[in-house]
Structure 1
Amino acid sequence: MTTRTPQELAVPVRGGDLAVAHWPGEGPAVIALHGITGNSLSFGAVAERLGDADLYAPDQRGPAGSAPNPAPVRLTAHVEVVLALLDHLGPRQALLLGHSLGAFTTAVAAARHSDRFPRVVLVDGGLGFPIPGGADIDEVIESVIGPAMRRLRATFPDRDAYRALFRAHPAFAAHWGPHVEAYVDRDLAGEAPAMRSSCALDAVRADGAGPIGDPETLGAIHRPEVRGTLLWAERGVMDEPQGLYDEERLAAGGLPPDRIVTRRVDGTNHYTILFAEHATAAVADAVRAELKLM
């Protein structure tokens, strides 16, 4: 497997430049959207599996290299940024690959602009379930990604301390390697001895509300325009046995198998579905299969 080093692009979009990692290739365009506290290098290991695909992974507004949003916005604003990215790149169409929150953005983008994003690959995200009436959205977000939220409030004396936090994380401990380290390093901002995650806490709150409380975000995957594959991890965000999805939850979601194929990736959790060798192979295979249908 050939190592692919990404180029760094600065793409002008409304509100400031969008930082984009680009793994050049002669194949069709693929745009990859990371999770709620992730960054473009979430897809470094997948890029190596994709061979000649022309892969673009932006840092969504808030984390890593992109200009921040001037204020918290609805998740649908990310869709317009992705559309602007495609317009800038030139191709009429691209396959969208989204992980976690990026999968929800992917579904909304495909529902709104199916002529531009005719096929999708959703990775451990995209299918949401409404919260009970009266539930506190902040509490729900905290219950799902509590450790990540606490990380955003913390400061770290140096890069090694930040890496150590991830090395000890149950989801990453057994999978530490160059791709995970690059992903972690890209997130760190500031100067010693008060370094911190580049993710903006207010932006995370605003984005996280979409998959649990916004009707358009919740309904996007059920729109007939959204067609593709949903890959789901066997285990959860802290490597716990219960993942975000299981057979019962997917059945309750009522996704038509002729429109959305669902497939479990065994031996993975919410994060390592993008880093474990067998998982990146599964993601790459899904991308190739969907590209053939465009």
Structure 2
Amino acid sequence: MSDGRLNHRYRALDVPVPGGTLRAGVWEPTDAAPGAPTVLLVHGVTASHLAWPFVVDRLPGVRVIAPDLRGRGRSNGIEGAAGMAAHADDLATLLDAVGVDRAVVVGHSMGGFVSVVFAHRHPERVSRLLLVDGGLPLDVPSGLSADELVAGILGPTAARLSMRFADVGEYLEFWRRHPAFAAAWTAELEEYLAYDLVDDGAGAFRPATSYATTADDTVDMNTGTALPEALAGLRHPTRVLTAPRGLQDDPPGLYAPEYLAGVLEAFPEVTHERIDGVNHYTIVMSPDGAAVVATAVREELAAAATTA
């Protein structure tokens, strides 16, 4: 497993949270100086902490903590509802478990929304926010049912959660045909995908994330109160990176330029950069995208250090 092996020592950590146990990955830098900085990385709606080794490899000297959000990866046995507030409180518990008071927080996709709510509910734990193709309101019609909302935002990504696979090889072949990774297939990606597959109890395998969890979280982040309240009270320096192509490598991505311009006008304190040449996945799960994100992380860590 890659797991940041060039510059870090990786370990898995299980943390008790309401309803069960939260799995997290911790990457300790092999050449850490005293007081090495810490960054908390929060993955997307159907992902896991193993979406991040691409970025971790490019953060020498930085301690990295990344959870499997409840209902995903090896945190998929947690009972009870999810939602942005529950995820945010889990992040605070995770930081307590690893003895970290405050961190730069990076959220990709749904992880961006979770990060914004985390900063609102636990402001003392966050120094700066870096949102990667997520975290700001999406352009979705009002009045949709939960299934319509999930289908409209996630499309085939949501449909995959109900599929069954004979083994890891079949799952990898499914993803090899996915347009998002046509030009970005790597060993790290295979490790991430293999980790995502779990026994369905009936002789086959399924993605670790359940459709019900995805639907609940998608509805909450688009129609619930936690996100708008958090954005209205945004007090941390916040930077957003967006991708010009979406989940199917299709333009204009999650945030069409004209729509995003209006959102940014409503939040003038948020800075924005559009990253060319990547889609919603490859902005973190490819060497080129991870290099851009890692550079932004280092810049945010440097800015946090000057204001500490």
Identify the TM-score tier after normalising by the shorter chain.
Answer: over 0.9
Relative to structure 2, which stretch is displaced further, 8-17 or 182-191? 8-17
> Which residue matches 1:127?
136
Aligned AA (2:277): G
> Which residue matches 2:61?
52
> Which residue matches 1:223?
233
- Note if contact 1:63-1:199 (Cα within 8 Å) is conserved in structure 2: yes
Question: Across the two proteins, how many residue pairs are aligned to each other?
Answer: 294
TM-score normalised by L of structure 1: 0.93
Q: How far apart, CA to CA, are the structure 2 residues paired with 1:85 and 1:246?
A: 34
Over 6 Å off, 4+ runs: none
Aligned AA (1:152): L
- Note if contact 1:130-1:213 (Cα within 8 Å) is conserved in structure 2: no
Q: Aligned with 1:134: secondary structure? A: coil
> Which residue matches 2:277?
267
Is structure 2 residue 32 aligned with structure 1 residue 28?
A: no
CA RMSD of superposed structures (Å): 2.0
- Structure 1: which 5+ residue stretches go unaligned? none
Is structure 2 residue 17 aligned with structure 1 residue 13?
A: yes
Q: How far apart, CA to CA, are the structure 2 residues paired with 1:212 and 1:224?
A: 17
- Note if contact 2:139-2:259 (Cα within 8 Å) is conserved in structure 1: no
Q: How far apart, CA to CA, are the structure 2 residues paired with 1:256 and 1:227?
A: 15
Of 138, 153, 166 in structure 2, the residue corresponding to residue 144 of structure 1 is: 153
Aligned AA (1:113): H
The structure-2 alpha-carbon separation of the partners of 1:122 and 1:198, relative to structure 1 and needing over 3 Å to count, comes to same
Is structure 2 residue 87 aligned with structure 1 residue 78?
A: yes
- Note if contact 2:7-2:61 (Cα within 8 Å) is conserved in structure 1: no
> Which residue matches 2:216?
206
- Note if contact 1:131-1:213 (Cα within 8 Å) is conserved in structure 2: no
Is structure 2 residue 102 aligned with structure 1 residue 93?
A: yes
TM-score normalised by L of structure 2: 0.89
| Displacement of 1:226 | 3.2
Of 260, 268, 271 in structure 2, the residue corresponding to residue 250 of structure 1 is: 260
Aligned AA (1:139): E
> Which residue matches 1:287?
297
> Which residue matches 2:169?
160
Q: How far apart, CA to CA, are the structure 2 residues paired with 1:242 and 1:29?
A: 33
Aligned AA (1:17): T
> Which residue matches 1:41?
50
Q: How far apart, CA to CA, are the structure 1 residues paired with 2:57 and 2:268?
A: 29
Aligned AA (1:111): H
Aligned AA (1:6): Y
